[in-house]
Amino acid sequence: MQRDEYPKYRHELKYLVSSAEIAILRARIQGLMKIDPHAISGQYAIRSLYFDDQYNRCYYENENGHDPRAKYRIRIYNHQDSVIHLERKHKERNKTRKLSCELTRDLADQLISGEMGNPSACPQLVQELIADMLGNRMHPVIIVDYDRIPYVYPLGNVRVTFDTSISSSKELHRFFEETITKRPVLPTGMQLMEVKFDEYLPDVIHRALQLNTLQQTTFSKYYLCRKYSM
């Protein structure tokens, strides 16, 4: 992939929200935004397995607000292995971008177990992860599991998501199993809203999302899950 083919950086704002606030916000935006067509019955389950190196660099860079920073994850939806992505998420100057490639189940299993096979036969992003695994002992460290209610709006390429039941798991070898042991990482009744957009957030969406009680946060789901598992 050439640099000019990379996805561009997007704004990403995060807010801690209560279940009651989600109900208010959804009532406001449902007439303006559409549910993501990929969502089944209005939502889907997301499970990600994150990597970190021997010094927990990704964790501490997040904790200290290091800029820029990046982290790898393997992601699946609705506990299925029919679509598996390896992603590297970059954050710089309060914006994010995500590089991604599809994985086969066999290749995902190899990366999770640390058996790299033949790197030259892998996609470029996989080769870069393998280089980090060999050079910096990058390895799986945590599973982040949650349900997502996603809304989309074409102008500004806006995406508003409500992530509920955010939980962590250390049962890395059971990543593809539907039922695993999980630990909630937010206080009871608290969830996470994310607002993502390209160059601008349309006024109509901005106004609909205004609540005096919203608590903006800079910490990621990955960080919260690692924090309560270390």
pLDDT score for 6: 63
Q: What pLDDT digit, counting tens, does each position of 174-221 carry?
A: 999 999 999 999 999 999 999 999 999 999 999 999 998 888 988 899
Distances (CA, A) of 57 to 68, 69, 71: 12, 10, 9
Total domains in the chain come to 1
pLDDT band at 119 (very low <50, low <70, confident <90, very high): confident
Residue 87 pairs in a beta bridge with: 73, 100
> Taking the model in full, what pTM does it have?
0.93
Q: Which structural domain, as residue segments, surrounds residue 111?
A: 3-227
Look-up of token digits 């954050």? 91
Specify the CATH number for the domain of residue 217. Answer: 3.20.100.30
